[in-house]
Amino acid sequence: MIAPPSRAAEQAARTRLAALAKPLGALGRVEDLAAWLAGCQDSCPPRPPERVRLTVLAGDHGIAAKGVSAYPPQVTAAMVHAFASGTAAAGVLARQHGVALRVLDIAVDADLDTPAGVGAHKIRRSSGSIDVEDALTAAELDAALLAGRAIAREEIEAGADLLILGDMGIGNTTPEAALIAATFGLTADEVVGRGTGVDDAGLARKTAAVAAALARAGDRASDPRARLQALGSADLAAGVGFLIAAATAGVPVLLDGLATLAELSVADELAPGTAAWCAAGHRSTEPAQRLALEKLGLLPVLDLDLRLGEGSGALLALPVLRSAALLAGEMALLSDLAG
Ligand SMILES: Cc1cc2ncn([C@H]3O[C@H](COP(=O)(O)O)[C@@H](O)[C@H]3O)c2cc1C
Ligand SMILES: O=C(O)c1cccnc1
């Protein structure tokens, strides 16, 4: 069990928010964000997160060869270069909001000619095709979980006061949907969405792939580790380790899309209490993402019909979180107003 954020600081923030120069509760869920941040920081009022770091975990997925994505697997490696050069969508937003971005090759198929360090935590080439085989061996699962923990610790040592996790990997919405289905006892039909925009035939292939994966994993999927090994991937397992390490260190995380919700679904079962350190940046168009938010009791900051991942939804939500902290800290108290 992971130690929860400070109840005392959260309560103090709620008391302060109630006393600010505004009608009671008038800042709506912005007040919840401020109180959550106060608890995570053990500080009332909370401080706006200034040293925010985005980590994009990249990996290919064997299932991509089965026609479950609207784009070819080669895009994963090409996009790693775009992250490294700051030209991916998440790179633009990270720059806009003063967020440090790091991209890591966890399981990309290609040998990448990228800046030093991108391959520092590489586990393997593309993870297994989950409809017919496990995504990972037990040893790879352990290595990926450890890598994710190490990456989070590196980000925290670099001074992060808020972490954002992003994903890049063609085909990854298939294992993500499978993980969420297995975690919450949902069917392939309920969780599968169009990802990058597959047509009806692609959607049918994707649903069949998730159903085959769930049937293949069977009862093993009730155990979170076995579920990750059978239905996940190296990059998703690293994300699970990352979230657990962030929560263990008491560093808050702003969640993004389907990848981060799949990671958290498993992480919160492996290490109960992880979800308390996470706030939901946005609700995506993917059914599995929306279902996981509901099951975890998370209300998203934004609902913009995004379906990108990369950390983009969390980056778009970041200004709201920063505003929440500033409002809690800088507004006058109603009782202090000159009358
Ligand atoms: C150019 C491009 C940039 C992306 N950035 C994130 N994704 C997103 O789409 C992919 C998952 O969707 P699916 O499961 O349908 O393949 C992941 O790479 C995810 O990060 C991208 C996808 C593409 C094509
Ligand atoms: O919902 C998401 O996060 C998503 C959807 C499509 C592709 N990548 C991510």
For 151-163, how does the pLDDT look when each residue is reduced to its tens digit (9 = 90+)? 999 999 999 999 9
The finding on whether 11 has its CB within 6 A of some atom of ligand 2 is no
CB burial of residue 40 (10 Å; 0-12, 13-18, 19+): buried
Q: Which CATH topology does 7-47+325-338 take?
A: 1.10.1610
Nearest residue to 66 (alpha-carbon basis) of 213, 209, 259: 209
Ligand 2 atom at minimal distance to the Cα of residue 285: 1
Residue 47 neighbours by CB distance under 10 Å: 15
The finding on whether 166 has its CB within 6 A of some atom of ligand 2 is no
Q: Which CATH topology does 52-320 take?
A: Rossmann fold (3.40.50)
What's the gap in Å between 3 CA and the centre of ligand 2?
Answer: 31
The finding on whether 309 has its CB within 6 A of some atom of ligand 2 is yes
What is the model's pTM? Answer: 0.99
Active-site residue, selected from the candidate residues 31, 154, 310, 330: 310
Query: What band does 112 get if pLDDT is binned at 50, 70 and 90?
Result: confident
Q: What is the pLDDT of residues 19-46, one digit of tens each?
A: 999 999 999 999 999 999 999 999 999 9
To test the pocket of ligand 2, the residue of 76, 284, 293 to mutate (highest count of ligand atoms within 8 Å of its CB) is 284
Instruction: Cite the residue boundaries of each domain of the chain with CATH code 3.40.50.10210.
Output: 52-320
Instruction: Cite the residue boundaries of each domain of the chain with CATH code 1.10.1610.10.
Output: 7-47+325-338
* Annotation says 310 is catalytic: yes
The finding on whether 285 has its CB within 6 A of some atom of ligand 1 is no
Q: What is the pLDDT of residues 161-192, one digit of tens each?
A: 999 999 999 999 999 999 999 999 999 999 99
